[in-house]
Every structure is written in C-alpha cells, then in structure tokens.
Amino acid sequence: MTEFMDVHHGMKGITDEQLREAHRADLAIESEESVHFKQAWADPESGTVYCLSEAPSAEAVQRIHERTGHPADEIHPVPLTV
C-alpha cells in the first residue's frame, strides 16, 4: 500500500458540510477498492481540495472519487513523508 495525495481544483466556495459529505461518500465505498481516505483539507477561496489516502494504486483512488462524483485532477503517490 502506498500513500497518495490527490488534488481537486474548481471547488470554490466549498463548505464544511460539503467536504464532510464528500468524505463520507468516499468512506462508504472505499473498501471495494481497498482504498482508505485518511484526511482532506479544503481552501474554499481558491477552490482547492487536498485528499490523503492509502491505496493499492492511483487508479483505485480515482475509481472511488469518480463513483462519488468528484474525480481528482491530480493524484500523486507520496512515498516519502516526514
């Protein structure tokens, strides 16, 4: 399993409730792809959302995000952490 950071653009004005709801939707089906979404951070002003997960592949992360209606614009493996 690898950690991934994925980035969503164009989420201007996202609210706390919308972020929670999107995260809940991902968590509800993540196990079908052996993904676990760990944390997410949002900047409503620029419309950027960062999402940290542990997953077998970037494709698995994207399949979950697509099924819940918010495909990522970028997905980076982040094998190094500190």
Site string (55-74) toward a copy of itself, x via CB under 8 A:
--------------------
- If binding is defined by CB under 8 A, does position 20 make contact with a copy of itself? yes
Can you name the residues that pair with 74 across neighbouring β-strands? 7
For residues 33 and 54, which CB has a smaller minimum distance to a copy of itself in the complex? Answer: 54
Please, what is the end-to-end C-alpha distance for the chain in angstroms? 17
Residue 25 found at the interface with a copy of itself (CB under 8 A)? no
**Is 44 one of the binding residues for a copy of itself (CB under 8 A)?**
yes
Please tell me the count of residues contacting a copy of itself according to CB under 8 A: 26
Residues 6+ apart with CB under 8 A from 74: 6, 7
Specify the 3-state DSSP secondary structure of 68: coil
Question: Does position 52 bind a copy of itself by CB under 8 A?
Answer: yes
Q: Read off the tokens for 68.
A: 């819940």
